[in-house]
């Protein structure tokens, strides 16, 4: 009988009858007895290229063999070979060993790492590499064979992740594990990648900063206008205050609306300032749009802006698709959006970084007027103000679309122009119930959960409507307004901490003038 047939006969039980490759040696008696497992383990391993090369003579009990062609382990009982059911392969090793630490130097420069495995048995490896949870928020990770590219997220993307609480396990770094498998064995290495983006992270600006602004509106006492021969309550100034410490407001600059329509309304053009749209800022620029001339009862179709860090008068940003008053403004820090007001439905928008005319974003579900807006950096929400629906509507600022219903208000609110939002809550403060009677109640919505508004649990110290709203990431401010009689102009600045629902309003300071029907905004001193 040939050698090959001899081997085939001996191995028949293991290679044919035992198709599942279960171990056939279950006790030492199968090896002829007299040998325990420790004795088997002490016998050296012999290596053979093929099954045909396994020896048939001079066998001893417990002799071990590894066959290269099928990478299987065999044990002898002294007269033949038994397949143990185990496949054995050589362990992979690093041909290009990654370092223990790396650094992403900035947001524009990808990190490239070579992590190349090697194996004497095979060149076919499976990539099983993975990153810690924070890795997905800090870099986009791709690989071409053994070349791994870590493309850093932008400062805005990282800021959004920070604001959403997705980087709580990161101190400016993440762990990436390079792992390759040859189908049996694997090689891996944990690497720490530092991406210290703290210095350039841009958190989403949600109409909140260390400066609060109040634009335009009406003041009291009125001032005599020599051109028109009448008393003029129009306020053409801009006030600001520090939102981080209590204190009074100071002058920032003046409106500069004379360039808008000076010829048509000489001497009164600077009063294009009543019931305008605010709460539109990216921290650097603060915008307000439209409004009406209280003296001439005409509507404005211009958007104006200031640079928040620079004391100056306003400049013209661009034109709306049409003029109006009672518009509600809101912003995600990139786009500024304005509801149409005057019981119309169109939403206009501009990109804050680039001056220019407004474009059509979409339509509100209902006709709205004299409401206000706020944002969490993603959703832009309006209280619809003077509307039969007395609810809230929203859009996602990144996508042009019509507004969608968010939920109902606690109560119908006219002149609900005082609002502010942070990444959690959108708050409406004051207003009136029927167009005349001012109220002091405060209500809020939760951005992450579409639904009806809820009573905040505390009220403003005084009833007021047509007050101006602004704030920072933690605090909402109510500035000025009219009292319950509809005649008294107020100068109080009230602050409400938004970290705990139900916090009471406190006296923060005073405006420079008694003031109502202006518009609030926020930005940063630097």
- Topology of the domain comprising 211-523: Neuraminidase (2.120.10)
What are the angstrom distances between the C-alpha of 332 and each of 78, 273, 329? 80, 24, 11
Report the alpha-carbon distance of residue 484 to residue 389 in Å, rounded: 24
Q: pLDDT at position 266, please?
A: 42
Peptide bond into 49 cis (omega under 30): no
Helix, strand, coil shares, percent, the chain, to 5: 10, 45, 45
Domain 93-199 sits in CATH at 2.60.40.10
Residues 6+ apart with CB under 8 A from 500: none
**What does each of the 526 residues of the chain score in pLDDT, given as a tens digit?**
444 445 444 444 444 444 444 444 444 444 444 444 444 445 567 888 888 888 988 888 889 888 877 778 889 988 888 887 666 666 789 999 999 999 998 888 999 999 999 986 677 899 999 999 989 999 999 999 999 999 998 776 787 677 666 777 777 889 999 999 887 788 999 999 998 765 556 566 777 889 999 988 888 887 766 666 667 777 888 999 999 999 999 999 887 644 344 444 344 344 456 778 889 999 999 998 877 665 555 667 788 899 999 998 888 899 888 777 778 899 998 899 998 776 578 899 999 999 999 999 999 988 777 788 999 888 999 998 665 567 899 999 889 999 999 999 998 888 888 999 998 999 999 988 876 788 999 999 999 899 999 999 999 999 999 999 999 989 999 999 988 765 689 999 999 999 999 999 999 999 999 988 888 999 999 8
Asked if 70 and 84 touch (Cβ cutoff 8 Å), the reply is: no
Q: What angle do CA 3, 9, 12 make, to 5 degrees?
A: 135
Q: What is the DSSP letter of 259?
A: H
Asked if 321 and 361 touch (Cβ cutoff 8 Å), the reply is: no
Handedness of CA 250, 477, 283, 525 (dihedral sign): positive
What are the angstrom distances between the C-alpha of 303 and each of 371, 396, 406? 18, 22, 27
Domain boundaries in the chain?
3-87, 93-199, 211-523
Predicted confidence (pLDDT) per residue in 41-69, tens digit? 455 678 888 888 889 888 888 898 888 77
The widest CA-to-CA distance across the chain, in whole angstroms, is 129
Domains 93-199 and 211-523 are alike in CATH topology: no
Q: What is the DSSP letter of 91?
A: P
Report the alpha-carbon distance of residue 77 to residue 34 in Å, rounded: 11
């Amino acid at each position: 009988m040939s050698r090959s047939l001899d081997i085939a006969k001996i191995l028949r039980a293991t290679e044919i009858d035992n198709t599942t490759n279960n171990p056939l040696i279950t006790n030492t008696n199968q090896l002829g007895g007299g040998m325990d497992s420790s004795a088997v383990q002490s016998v050296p391993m012999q290596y053979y290229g093929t099954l045909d090369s396994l020896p048939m003579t001079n066998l001893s009990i417990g002799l071990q063999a590894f066959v290269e062609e099928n990478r299987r382990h065999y044990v002898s009982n002294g007269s033949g070979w038994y397949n143990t059911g185990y496949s054995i392969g050589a362990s992979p090793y690093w041909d290009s060993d990654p370092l223990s630490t790396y650094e992403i130097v900035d947001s524009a420069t990808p990190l490239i790492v070579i992590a190349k495995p090697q194996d004497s048995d095979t060149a076919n490896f499976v990539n099983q590499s993975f990153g810690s949870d924070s890795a997905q928020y800090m870099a986009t990770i791709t690989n071409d064979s053994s070349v791994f590219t870590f493309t850093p997220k932008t400062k805005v993307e990282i800021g959004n992740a920070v604001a959403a609480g997705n980087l709580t396990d990161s101190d400016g770094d993440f762990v990436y594990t390079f792992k390759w498998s040859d189908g049996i064995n694997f090689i891996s290495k944990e690497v720490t990648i530092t991406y210290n983006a703290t210095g350039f992270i841009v958190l989403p600006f949600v109409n909140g900063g260390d400066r609060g602004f109040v634009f335009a509106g009406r003041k009291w006492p009125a001032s005599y206008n020599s051109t028109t021969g009448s008393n003029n309550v129009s306020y053409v100034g801009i006030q600001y205050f520090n939102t981080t410490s209590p204190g009074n407001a100071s002058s920032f600059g003046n409106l500069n609306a004379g360039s808008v329509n000076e010829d048509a309304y000489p001497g009164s053009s600077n009063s294009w300032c009543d019931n305008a749209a605010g709460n539109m800022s990216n921290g650097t620029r603060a915008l307000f749009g439209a409004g009406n001339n209280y003296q001439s009862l005409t509507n404005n179709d211009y958007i104006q802006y200031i640079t928040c860090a620079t004391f100056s008068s306003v400049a013209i940003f661009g034109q709306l698709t049409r003029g109006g008053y009672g518009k509600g403004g809101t912003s995600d820090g990139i786009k500024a959006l304005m509801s149409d007001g005057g019981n119309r439905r169109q939403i206009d928008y501009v990109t804050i970084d680039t001056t220019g005319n407004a474009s059509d974003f979409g339509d509100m579900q209902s006709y709205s007027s004299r409401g206000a807006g706020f944002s969490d950096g993603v959703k832009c929400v309006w209280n619809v103000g003077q509307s039969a629906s007395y609810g809230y509507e929203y859009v996602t600022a990144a996508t042009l679309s019509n507004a969608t219903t968010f939920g109902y208000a606690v109560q119908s609110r006219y002149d609900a122009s005082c609002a502010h939002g942070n990444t959690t809550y959108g708050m409406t403060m004051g207003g009136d119930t029927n167009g005349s009677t001012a109220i002091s109640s405060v209500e809020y919505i939760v951005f992450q959960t579409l639904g009806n508004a809820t009573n905040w649990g505390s009220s403003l110290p005084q009833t007021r409507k047509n007050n101006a709203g602004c704030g920072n990431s933690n605090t909402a401010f109510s500035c000025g307004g009219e009292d319950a009689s509809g005649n008294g102009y107020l100068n109080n600045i009230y602050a409400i901490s938004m970290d705990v629902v139900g916090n009471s309003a406190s006296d923060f300071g005073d405006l420079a003038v008694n003031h109502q029907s202006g518009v609030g905004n926020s930005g940063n001193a630097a």
